[in-house]
Amino acid sequence: MSKIGIIYNDAKPIACRITNELKDKLTAYGYDIHINNGSGGILGYPSLEHPLCHTSIDQLVPSGFTKDMTFAVVLGGDGTVLSAFRQVAPCHIPLLTVNTGHMGFLTETFVNQLYPAIEQVLAGDYEVEERTMLEVRLFRDNELLWEALCLNEMVLHREPMTCMCHFEIQIGRHAPIDIAADGIIISTPTGSTAYSLSAGGPVVTPGVPVLELSPICPHSLASRALVFADTEPVTVFPASPNRMMMIVDGNGGCYVLPEDRVRVKQSHYKARFIRLKPPEFFHVLREKLGWGLPHIAKPTSVELP
């Protein structure tokens, strides 16, 4: 019996309702259905009492979600999609992402188009687009303290009400660089349209094999976004006396102390998106972010008397 998964945002009543309906429909078709909520991929936030809060990358896979699963459906917004890929990427499961939220930049279809989309996928009429993911790890005295799988970005920034931070960053074998800023962002091409874009970084099309380093409010005209090969691992050494915060995919993270180091590298796991038609990234940019829209027509010239 073929297996299909459903990952849903249990905080949204519509996602809960559609999950139950979809389970009944697919079960009637003879499929073995496994369900998990999006909170299973939540990384968690630290506290002063518990400065580290995480689960190992491979231990986030939900029960029943295995490599023989045909595909899984995600019902939610972008946050649920990010959480779902942290859960299933180690099993190479392709995801059909269905928007029940607002922006839905990472989603493939809308909830009112769900059942035609399901029929199309069951008929095998789809493509799988693979996106780069990152593995983010925190070390202290060469001991691994925290790790996470990441689709969008890793952000390392100052805590509120503290001074500007200094970072020493080693990219691959290249000479270290120094950045003074409120924080830094290391993003994938997928994440180039998220926080990195807001920080002034460039948009990178998904198929380009690069990563991106963007300073947040840098204290120098010379500190600007940098694009480099995704084969280059990145090591960040905090060069400030104050504690910092690291956030992955805007979801959860940990404290980073001055003696720590953060290691970021391309993961061998990929985010596998089900595409119902050939991907058209510029169309998504235009539809979701307004990129490349035609200019407003200029007023017709008026002859002066």
Domain boundaries, the chain: 3-131+270-289, 134-267
Which of 78, 125, 249, 260 is catalytic? The answer is: 78
Token couple for 232: 């280059």
Buried b (16+ CB within 10 A) or exposed e, 83-106: bbbbbbbbbebbbbbbbbbeebbb
CATH architecture for the domain at 3-131+270-289: 3-Layer(aba) Sandwich (3.40)
**Alpha carbon distances (Å) from 277 to 115, 123, 158, 281, 292:** 16, 14, 42, 12, 21
| Dist CA 191 CA 212 (whole Å) | 9
Tell me, rounded to whole angstroms, the distance of Cα 2 from its chain centroid. Answer: 28
Per residue in 173-215, pLDDT tens? 999 999 999 999 999 999 999 999 999 999 999 999 999 999 9
Per residue in 104-134, pLDDT tens? 899 999 999 999 999 999 999 999 999 999 9
Token couple for 116: 């035609």
* pTM for the full predicted model: 0.90
Token couple for 240: 């400030």
Tell me the torsion sign for CA atoms 99, 13, 54, 90.
negative
Instruction: For residue 111, report the phi and psi dihedrals to the nearest 5 degrees.
Output: -65, -30
User: Other CB atoms closer than 10 Å to residue 177's CB: what's the count?
Assistant: 13
**Alpha carbon distances (Å) from 190 to 80, 169, 194, 202:** 15, 22, 8, 12
Mean pLDDT of 257-269: 95
Tell me the torsion sign for CA atoms 90, 93, 94, 95.
negative
Task: Respond yes or no: is residue 78 known to be catalytic.
Answer: yes
Q: Domain 134-267 class? A: mainly beta
Per residue in 234-243, pLDDT tens? 999 998 888 8
Binding-site residue numbers for NAD(+) are 78-79, 152-153, 182, 193-198, 251
